[in-house]
Amino acid sequence: MRYLPHTEQEIQAMLETIGVDSVAALFEPIPAPLRAAPLDLEPALPEPALMAHLESLATKNAAANALSFLGAGMYDHHVPPAVDQLLLRSEFYTAYTPYQAEVSQGTLQAIFEFQTLVCQLFGQEVANASMYCAASGAAEAVLMARRITRRTHALVSGAVHPHHLDTIRTFLNGTDDNQPDLEVVAEAEGVTDLADLDAKLRDDTAVVVVGYPTFLGCVEDVAAIAARAHAKGALVVTITTEPYALSLLEAPGTLGADICVGEGQPLAVPLQLGGPGVGLFACKEQFLRQIPGRLVGQTVDQDGQRGFVLTLSTREQHIRREKATSNICTNHGLIALAFTIRVAMLGKSGFEGAGRHCLANAEYLKAEIGKLDAYSIPYATPTFNEFVVRRREGRAAPLLAALAAQDLLAGVDLGAFREAWDHDFLVAVTEKHTKADLDRLVAALAAA
């Protein structure tokens, strides 16, 4: 869609139509102290000079060429240039919420394909058109479980991402019934402490939330947790921030999870300042009417031709606000499309192959770091591509800062999230890391 600026004559005609003398008059109802002051911009530059200036600014990004082992919810996987090229098609790039849905068949079909892939990924029956991110999906899943069970008590594993826990708590604090009623289950060996879960499960528990894998990279026993929760009539929510893990792990839906949420960024777009991402959300079909956000369904027209429609849209707040299941009225459609394109490019065998590469890299690195006297791998629980390294003496933060000065981002300081973890850091690898990259990290840790 091209941008066509208005001429002075067109602007004047519009002002006359609405009965004001100038554009400035439109802002007079806003008190003067609250109006934005004119921007103090430097004079314009010729294009070659501007490009040189921007390049000089870009070189100030000290970590631009750093070797990174950062993860903790956002992962640096390969995204082919073809994904971006397809996204740049104008019918995709300018697409927005399909309020006039049935005339947006291309958009609806893309969303339908996205939903189908999310269902296959999680082993579930129904998926929505996406959430903002994994954190918003987790919070919405807890609210959904409370609606379904008509209970308020929520249990969240201490091994889930702390940001997800904070988001869930924030959503619950804003509920109409003002009953946050949330407890945190202890973490042990990088996963949920089942003994503490048994102690905290109640007859009025609505939901149990766990990571799969957890924030610490460990693989939960979802089946065991689901058996305990279901015995009390509670639902189980899993959060998967690394979807590549599901290339090798059994889908959480087949293990008993009732609602599965996750982050699509690793399968959609490269890392860029912490985002953007796209929330994945799927559940059992029996909970269809309580799922938040939009749903696209497949149907046929009067001639029997396949078509796509928004399903259950009367519950959305733009039509019947009082019936809305959620305050999400749109989704990260462009990132959801990127996710769909990338998954289709990979195919089943490519997806599994990338997962095996990640796992092999992680196991090699874990073994090599484990040989160093100054470090240990504290958890014996199986992991996928992310694991905790513990410094035997001293906090992790100074070590990571020293390595960052050498253009080596060795991991995420876990002490920033919890004081008890101040000796630990989280290391993530992907298929993009070479053996030389892994050996460089091991050598740097040994030298430090």
Residues 6+ apart with CB under 8 A from 80: 342, 345
Q: Which residues pair with residue 262 across a beta bridge?
A: 240, 280
CA pair distance 23, 6, nearest whole angstrom = 13
Task: Please write the tens of the pLDDT for every residue from 73-123.
Answer: 999 999 999 999 998 887 777 656 666 666 778 888 899 999 999 999 999
CA pair distance 60, 68, nearest whole angstrom = 18
The residue count for the chain: 448
CA pair distance 329, 316, nearest whole angstrom = 7
For residue 166, pLDDT beyond 90: yes
CA pair distance 61, 65, nearest whole angstrom = 9
Cβ–Cβ < 8 Å for 1, 90: yes
pLDDT on residue 352:
97
Residue type, 12: Q
**Which has the higher per-residue pLDDT, 65 or 55?**
55
- Kindly list the distances between the CA atom of residue 26 and the CA atoms of 11, 15, 22, 36, in Å, as whole numbers in the listed order: 13, 9, 7, 14
Cβ–Cβ < 8 Å for 362, 387: yes
Render 281-298 in DSSP notation, one character per residue.
Answer: EEE-GGGGGG--S-EEEE
For residue 148, pLDDT beyond 70: yes
Task: Please write the tens of the pLDDT for every residue from 5-52.
Answer: 789 999 999 999 999 999 889 989 999 888 888 888 888 899 999 999
DSSP three-state, residue 326: coil
How many of the other CB atoms lie within 10 Å of CB of 86? 17
Domains of the chain are 68-78+350-447 (3.90.1150.10), 81-341 (3.40.640.10)
Q: Is residue 266 very low, low, confident or very high in pLDDT (cuts 50, 70, 90)?
A: very high
Give percent of the chain above pLDDT 70: 92
